[in-house]
């Protein structure tokens, strides 16, 4: 016997997975300089478990602990965990 399908969300509540409330940092932008009118922007980006420093055309590997402990963040980017 086929299962009856409805459009009522409450009928499907037991089948739904609650949305994640956890987020994971995946990028940081840092401003280097004395004020916002002058200076230089550098970004740090996570790809899988590795972190990279992007400074103009130069991209270098960087330790995660350095990104999390010594960078003066200007912008932080997060992705929602699924």
Band the pLDDT of 13: cuts 50, 70, 90: low
pLDDT digits (tens, 9 = 90+) for 55-75: 999 999 999 999 988 888 999
Q: How far apart are CA 10 and CA 13, in angstroms?
A: 5
The verdict on pTM exceeding 0.85 is no
Cα–Cα dist 62/44, whole Å: 8
């Amino acid at each position: 016997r086929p299962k009856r399908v409805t459009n009522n969300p409450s009928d499907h509540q037991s089948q739904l997975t609650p949305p994640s409330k956890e987020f994971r940092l995946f990028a940081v932008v840092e401003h280097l300089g004395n004020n916002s009118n002058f200076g230089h922007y550098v970004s740090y980006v996570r790809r899988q478990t590795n972190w990279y420093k992007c400074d103009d055309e130069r991209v270098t590997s960087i330790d995660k602990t350095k990104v999390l402990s010594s960078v003066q963040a200007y912008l932080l980017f997060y992705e929602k965990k699924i």
